[in-house]
Amino acid sequence: MGRRRKKYKRIVKKVRRIPSVYQCPQCGSRSLTIEIKSEAGTRIAYIRCGHCGLKVLAENIPEIYETPDIYGKFIDFYTGSEETNVSFKFIESEELSTEVAEEEDIEGT
């Protein structure tokens, strides 16, 4: 006569993914999105807050950078704590719509 067989619990590991929405430094809401566009050797990122309307254009992004890296550099730029090799500039909504339209025209052809 033997013992009952012991039931083993299956350990499920949670896969960590790169976040797609970040916290906005201006309004504090979790609605900041980063969109990266690549074109002919240069990379551009559009940073937008859906809550307060903050819009920033990031240029000269190295190929190795992903969205968390760009977010970190943006926070450094916004707080003024560190000089970055990525150039940031605040843009108005009209400028952003024309630049996005130009990007779509270039990709479409």
Output 109 or 71, whichever has higher pLDDT: 71
What's the pLDDT at 104? 54
Q: What is the pLDDT of residues 56-106, one digit of tens each?
A: 998 888 888 899 999 999 998 888 877 777 888 888 755 545 555 555 555
Is residue 23 within 8 Å of residue 32, measured between CB atoms?
Answer: yes
Question: What pLDDT does residue 102 have?
Answer: 57
pTM for this entry? 0.70
Q: How far is it, in rounded angstroms, from Cα 60 to Cα 48? A: 18
Query: How many H helices and E strands in the chain?
Result: 2, 5
Instruction: Give pLDDT tens digits for 16-49.
Output: 888 889 998 888 889 899 999 988 778 899 999 9
pLDDT at site 15: 92
Q: Residue 87 carries which side chain, given as an amino acid letter?
A: S
Name the residue type at position 9. K
Q: Residue 98: what pLDDT?
A: 53
Is 97 in contact with 79 (CB distance < 8 Å)? no
Query: What is the Cα 28 distance to its own chain's centre?
Result: 16
Residues in the chain: 109
Alpha helices in 3-92 (DSSP H): 67-79
